[in-house]
Amino acid sequence: MKKIIIAGTGSGVGKTTISIGIMKALIDRGKSVQAFKIGPDYIDPSFHEYVTGRSSRNLDSYMLDDEQVKYVYRQASKRADISIIEGVMGLYDGLGTDINKHSTSKMAKTLKAPVILVVDAKAMGSSVAAMVLGYKQLDKDVEIVGVIANNVRTKRHFDIVKTSIEKYCALEVLGYIPPLEDIRLESRQLGLVPSGETEYIERKIDILGKLLEDYVDIDRIIELSESEAVTSNFELSMFIEDPDVQDLARGKKMAVAYDEAFNFYYDSNLELLEDIGVELEFFSPIEDETLPEADLVYIGGGFPEVFAAQLEANKSMRESIYKAYEANKPIYAECGGLMYLGEYMIDLEGNKHQMVGAIKGYSQMEKRLKRVGYCQATAKEDNLIAYKGQQICGHEFHYSSFHSDLEAAFDIEKIVNDQVIDRWEGGYFTRNTLASYLHIHFYNNLSLVCYLLSRA
């Protein structure tokens, strides 16, 4: 199975830009490309999907164990010619100081995938070789097979970088990318701006594909991507085919919020719901007048603050969701969904926007990041997805804070280097509605799917 990881020496060195360019170059050659993103990020995969026309999958070794990660990879890559796996942060960055905890390097070993290292060569000559050598030697079980240099201004500059790396590191330099200020993919909060909001995205991606074809040895990348097949001991079939699970799902319809404001979902979660027999009906809190007829409602994350005025203006939808809340219809919301279900939202300019009002409280946007990282949540009482005392692993990333006098639904801990470094309470469960900042993956919490369906 052809697969390659595009890793970086750190965040901001051009992993996403180069990954997208490689994907586009391969697509233009007629290849079927399956994209993956290591870690929990929702935004980079939206760019991947735009380029490849296929759902990009997250490979997250915190929310999933190794066998589950390999299962996600195996299932998604079945009908692709090649898999391009974009790393997270720097190659060895993970949770804490253990380079084998949730890092790109650990994922490379789990999937037995070769790695191409992206380096930012701006203002560097032969010194770049020292950096590359360190990455090569830190963990020799990680198979670094080549280097791509970013921000290289001239052919002379590239010759120095290439010669130095090949001389001192014994690694191939597969090419370089000149500075790309005019087609830079814009950043926002969690990684990048969603592809649907980037101006002239198609033109930019076309240019990236041509640049990678011109400046990087795509043929060699294809050759280096040869690696052994991935097998997994994890199987969803037993869960999907369980008669009790099918009974819970039979005839159930779930309304899923999906538009410019709400689009942060793991596709594996939505597919799992469909596989067990739940019918998904997508709706837009911005455009649609009312909720579709459904037994449950799922409002994922996104950027509701960007579309706060439109969400406020759609009073009929807000009232429709509130009626569902009053009728005790199960409503599950993550992050942006929590903000939308509150009474109002305060933006960075101090403007107040009326929201649904199901959760008594309000969200307020902040200039600084309020919380980021993996966490363990313990249900304080039985709620929509968990029983009292049940632990759920998840991820939080938000610039907003939520203020409420309601009792919190979860006790939450952040654990780094096997020590609890932070504790807080979060999430709210009222009537049959659960909303929190937690993003979760269903594969690691299959019981919560059953728990959720049983409430409908």
Residue type, 439: H
CB 427 within 8 A of CB 436: yes
Which residue among 169, 335, 375, 393 is the active-site one? 335
**H helices within 306-388, ranges in order?**
308-313, 315-326, 336-341
CB 121 within 8 A of CB 157: yes
Spatial separation of the C-alpha atoms in residues 253 and 385, rounded to whole Å: 17
Spatial separation of the C-alpha atoms in residues 166 and 146, rounded to whole Å: 10
Spatial separation of the C-alpha atoms in residues 381 and 402, rounded to whole Å: 20
CB 115 within 8 A of CB 3: no
Spatial separation of the C-alpha atoms in residues 154 and 310, rounded to whole Å: 47
**Order of strands across the sheet with 400-403?**
352-354, 342-346, 359-365, 400-403
* DSSP string across 53-98: SS--EEE-TTTS-HHHHHHHHHHHHTT-SEEEEE--SSTT-BSBT-
| Residues in a beta bridge with 342 | 359
Q: Quick check: is 335 catalytic?
A: yes
Spatial separation of the C-alpha atoms in residues 272 and 252, rounded to whole Å: 14
Q: Which residues are catalytic?
A: 335
